[in-house]
Amino acid sequence: MKIWNLQKSNQTTFRYPKDYPTKYIALVRAKFAVKKILRWVRVQKLSTMMLGGQYHTSHELIEIDITYQCNLKCNNCNRSSAQAPDNTHINLSQIVNFVEQSLQRKTPWKRIRILGGEPTLHPEFQSIIEQLLVLKTHHPDTVIELVTNGYGRKVNAALENLPEGIWVENSYKTGNVQPSFGPFNMAPQDSVLYKFADYSNGCDIASSCGMGLTPQGYYPCAVAGGIDRVLGLHRGRQSLPSPSDEMRDLMDIACRLCGRFYDGHYVPEKLRPSLEVQKNSRSWDKHYQDWAKRRIDIQ
Ligand code: SF4
Ligand code: SF4
């Protein structure tokens, strides 16, 4: 069982395993097989026309990808930090604007997660943390959480120096093979079974993790921002989207390429096939080739 450590900086360590006991696994497997079929039916164009989009982007939760740089290059990274590596960082001014616009909103954030890439490698990591803590002084109940791979001396030195008030989710990665990852680069648009899918349905990441802020702007989820980076479209919203903006146009672009779209919901690790190697469907082979070519062109 995979156990995530969640610790408040300089304070107690908490552990919360979320999985099912092995003795119920057959039952759980059957339940998730049914859920998968229901999901497929739900995302078809006809169902979507009748019922609307299945998942809604949370405007109370946000994930901020502050950099795509990473000191690990994991297979199937859903930010493409391994497949299309670069050192694109968010500008500090974007964080300052985010803080200002957040303070103007009526509703405070329930949770702000700081991710990447490996977020501690951002050259202005400390200043970003200081800016985000300004929000906490106005809204003490806002949880600010740093998601790190916990790998290497530089990363751990940054973790040691975190100020009070930042929670840490440390995955303690030790290498680039992550068997529990989903096949992010298996694009549903490459499957004949999804020919009539409506990709603006999104998935539960948009609801349970919230919208994304990335160097390219705001998206219905941070994964969508990472996809837009590889596509080079720069479609992200440039200021904090209003609660009425569901960003379904951005889901339509990103979700057709995202392997997470298939199930649409959380799948327990015991039910996931072990993924040892990088897997790309044909759309992703092409997008990564195009990305590499664009990089050469601008150098
Ligand atoms: S540590 Fe995270 S961000 Fe870095 S390559 Fe692995 S999955 Fe991607
Ligand atoms: S399918 Fe992928 S891109 Fe679409 S909402 Fe889910 S995680 Fe984001």
106 Cβ contact list (under 8 Å, min separation 6):
none
Confidence of residue 5 (pLDDT cuts 50, 70, 90): very low
pLDDT, tens digit, 9 for 90 and up, residues 69-128: 999 999 999 999 999 999 999 999 999 999 999 999 989 999 999 999 999 999 999 999
Tokens of 180: 């529990």
Please indicate whether residue 250, judged by its CB atom, sits closer than 6 Å to ligand 2: no
CA of 137 to the centre of ligand 1 (A): 31
Q: Ligand 1 atom 6: the closest Cα is on which residue?
A: 74
pLDDT, tens digit, 9 for 90 and up, residues 208-246: 999 999 999 999 999 999 999 999 999 999 999 999 999
What's the CATH class of domain 5-15+51-298? alpha beta
Taking a C-beta distance cutoff of 8 angstroms, is the pair 176, 75 a contact?
yes
Tokens of 139: 């809204």
Residue 85 has, within 13 A of its CA and on its CB side, a CA count of 9
Please indicate whether residue 223, judged by its CB atom, sits closer than 6 Å to ligand 2: yes
In angstroms, the first-to-last Cα distance of the chain is: 45
Quick one: how far is CA 240 from the chain centroid? 18
Taking a C-beta distance cutoff of 8 angstroms, is the pair 226, 214 a contact?
yes
Asked if the model's pLDDT at residue 195 lies above 60, the reply is yes
Atom of ligand 1 nearest to the CA of 82: 5
| Distance set, CA 160 to CA 5, 10, 152, 279, 289 (Å) | 16, 8, 12, 35, 39
Atom of ligand 2 nearest to the CA of 219: 8
Which residues are bridge partners to 286 per DSSP?
A: none
Asked if the model's pLDDT at residue 299 lies above 90, the reply is no
Asked if the model's pLDDT at residue 2 lies above 50, the reply is no
What pLDDT sits at residue 26?
A: 86
* Phi (first) and psi of residue 184, to 5 degrees: -55, -40
Mean predicted confidence (pLDDT) in 280-289: 98
pLDDT, tens digit, 9 for 90 and up, residues 6-59: 444 443 333 334 566 777 788 888 999 999 999 999 999 999 999 999 999 999
Tokens of 79: 């930010």
Comparing CA positions, the residue from 206, 182, 192, 195 lying closest to residue 263 is 182
Sign of CA dihedral 79, 58, 54, 266: positive
Q: Ligand 1 atom 8: the closest Cα is on which residue?
A: 77
CA of 161 to the centre of ligand 2 (A): 33
Taking a C-beta distance cutoff of 8 angstroms, is the pair 136, 87 a contact?
no
Comparing CA positions, the residue from 94, 77, 43, 131 lying closest to residue 212 is 94
Please indicate whether residue 116, judged by its CB atom, sits closer than 6 Å to ligand 1: yes
Mean predicted confidence (pLDDT) in 171-176: 94
Residue at token pair 């057959």: 26
244 Cβ contact list (under 8 Å, min separation 6):
none
What pLDDT sits at residue 16?
A: 39
Asked if the model's pLDDT at residue 180 lies above 80, the reply is yes
Comparing CA positions, the residue from 107, 113, 66 lying closest to residue 209 is 113
Please indicate whether residue 82, judged by its CB atom, sits closer than 6 Å to ligand 1: yes
CA of 52 to the centre of ligand 1 (A): 33
What pLDDT sits at residue 24?
A: 78
Going from N- to C-terminal start, the domains of the chain cover: 5-15+51-298
Give the C-alpha separation, 146 to 164, whole Å. 12
Please indicate whether residue 117, judged by its CB atom, sits closer than 6 Å to ligand 1: yes
CA angle 159, 164, 166 (to 5 degrees): 65
Atom of ligand 1 nearest to the CA of 79: 8
Taking a C-beta distance cutoff of 8 angstroms, is the pair 246, 237 a contact?
no
Sign of CA dihedral 36, 37, 41, 44: positive
